[in-house]
Amino acid sequence: MPYNNTKALKSQLDGINLSTTNEITQRIQNYPITKGEILELIKKYDTKSICSLANTIRNTCKNGPITYSRKVFINLINLCRDTCSYCTYKKELSDYDLSFLSKDKALRIARMGKLLRCTEALIVTGERPEQKYPEFREWLKKYDCSSTTEYIEQVSNLILEETGLLPHTNAGTLNYDELSILKKSNVSLGCMLETSSERLSGKNMPHEFAPSKNPRARIRVLENAGKLKIPITTGLLIGIGETLEETIDSLIVIREINHKYGNIQEIIMQNHIPKYNTKMRNYLPPSHDLFLLTICLARIIMPNMNIQVPPNLSPKLYSTYINAGINDWGGISPLTIDFVNPESPWPDIKDVKGATEKAGYRFRGRLAIYPEFVLNKREFIPKNLWNYITPLTDSSGLVKEELN
């Protein structure tokens, strides 16, 4: 497939309606849209028309059900070496809600999740807390570990072997060796790019004190995961000071990594909700129109990608996001809260199902690894993990309907 598109899209952009969007869809599938063409599109058309295009592209390129993953959120260690201006996940040693989750407690949560038919154990930690907190280094010794990754490895193996829930870890900028360790027990990993703009790491910007959020560090993780054939979830945080052009650049960076390695399984488009106890509390959240546009652009830039919007961050706007081209609702937990956004409760899964079906789409459970990998990219899955994946899936690569 020609990657540097030279075929002009311009003439096809005139008067978008359903008949021309079909042509544009075909063109975008064959020749990835360029940044210039995207800027042209935005200049010429309003968000409603762009949504219509994104919707057609999703219906053509991702015409299966709209999915979600039934999960438990294992809030393993919420200390963090870094500081992002919008974050409330990170805690200090004196905080009442500090989490040093023992292996026993993590397993208990996974067992309860199993009873509630969850299939994913989302394991989350802050960035390399062992580098900043001697108390945590001391605590790790109880488990014979010298790093967060070693502890995650133990917890992942325990959950996998004892419950069959499939681990998916989000622990920041893991290096090559750490990624290869976790590949053995995690069916996929997560690392949000958030933005490819280095400007946001500058003075007085949200990532000034978070070296792990430097885009170069995050891109390295996504690429190393590609080299190791690890399916990885990434995404953008919208509304932290980036420009629309920078959002386009970020999406194109992800597209290029996926073009090279084929390992990006999903893109989360997450709207920033300013939190009262952060430096960015007075920051305006992204407007609904702007957020919608960025979702559409994700779909238009990567027609075949799984695009997700977390349903707890914009409750009741389900049909709007479906119409903007998403095909996934991400992890939803019937048991645990979203510890990254604790003020935003998960919706009832039945409500999301109802809204999805009302919009005319089927609603299905997926694993923490997408069907594309289960069915067609089997080389991304280590042999030992098939023992856990196979009993959960049907021929579509999704969770068997009777299990979910």
Binding site for ligand SF4 (CB under 6 A): 80, 82-84, 87, 89-90, 126-127, 172, 210, 212
Neighbouring CB atoms inside 10 A of 291's CB total 25
In the bound state with ligand SF4, the residue whose beta carbon lies nearer, of 82 and 266, is 82
In the bound state with ligand SF4, the residue whose beta carbon lies nearer, of 126 and 365, is 126
Let me know the angle formed at the C-alpha of 135 by 131 and 136, rounded to the nearest 5 degrees: 55
Measured on CA atoms in the order 332, 336, 337, 340, is the torsion positive or negative? negative
In whole angstroms, the minimum distance from the beta carbon of 95 to ligand SF4 comes to 13
Rounded to the nearest angstrom, the gap between the alpha carbon of residue 144 and the centroid of all alpha carbons in its chain is 31
Is the Cβ–Cβ distance between 47 and 292 less than 8 Å? Answer: yes
In whole angstroms, the minimum distance from the beta carbon of 280 to ligand SF4 comes to 12
Spatial neighbors of 52 by CB under 8 A, at least 6 apart, are 16, 17, 18, 21
In the bound state with ligand SF4, the residue whose beta carbon lies nearer, of 210 and 296, is 210
In the bound state with ligand SF4, the residue whose beta carbon lies nearer, of 61 and 217, is 217
In whole angstroms, the minimum distance from the beta carbon of 310 to ligand SF4 comes to 15
In whole angstroms, the minimum distance from the beta carbon of 71 to ligand SF4 comes to 19
Query: CA 71 to CA 393: how far, in whole Å?
Result: 16
In the bound state with ligand SF4, the residue whose beta carbon lies nearer, of 240 and 252, is 240
In the bound state with ligand SF4, the residue whose beta carbon lies nearer, of 208 and 223, is 208
Query: CA 269 to CA 246: how far, in whole Å?
Result: 14
Query: CA 101 to CA 86: how far, in whole Å?
Result: 24
Rounded to the nearest angstrom, the gap between the alpha carbon of residue 298 and the centroid of all alpha carbons in its chain is 13
In the bound state with ligand SF4, the residue whose beta carbon lies nearer, of 90 and 366, is 90
In the bound state with ligand SF4, the residue whose beta carbon lies nearer, of 112 and 337, is 337
In whole angstroms, the minimum distance from the beta carbon of 147 to ligand SF4 comes to 16
In whole angstroms, the minimum distance from the beta carbon of 143 to ligand SF4 comes to 21
Is the Cβ–Cβ distance between 318 and 359 less than 8 Å? Answer: yes
List the structure tokens of 8. 């002009």
State the residue for tokens 């690890």.
230
In the bound state with ligand SF4, the residue whose beta carbon lies nearer, of 210 and 313, is 210
Instruction: Please list the residues that pair with 194 across neighbouring strands.
Output: 236
In the bound state with ligand SF4, the residue whose beta carbon lies nearer, of 137 and 400, is 137
In whole angstroms, the minimum distance from the beta carbon of 53 to ligand SF4 comes to 33
In whole angstroms, the minimum distance from the beta carbon of 113 to ligand SF4 comes to 23
Burial group, residue 377, by CB count within 10 angstroms (0-12, 13-18, 19+): middle
Is the Cβ–Cβ distance between 164 and 114 less than 8 Å? Answer: yes
In the bound state with ligand SF4, the residue whose beta carbon lies nearer, of 87 and 369, is 87
- From residue 88, give the alpha-carbon distance in Å to each of 24, 98, 202: 42, 11, 21
Q: For the packed helices 47-61 and 35-44, what is the interaxial angle rounded to 10 degrees?
A: 130
CA atoms within 13 A on the CB side of 267: 31
Query: CA 62 to CA 321: how far, in whole Å?
Result: 15
Is the Cβ–Cβ distance between 49 and 300 less than 8 Å? Answer: no
In whole angstroms, the minimum distance from the beta carbon of 358 to ligand SF4 comes to 34
Measured on CA atoms in the order 227, 233, 237, 243, is the torsion positive or negative? positive
In whole angstroms, the minimum distance from the beta carbon of 155 to ligand SF4 comes to 18
List the structure tokens of 324. 């903007």
In whole angstroms, the minimum distance from the beta carbon of 86 to ligand SF4 comes to 7
Is the Cβ–Cβ distance between 218 and 189 less than 8 Å? Answer: no
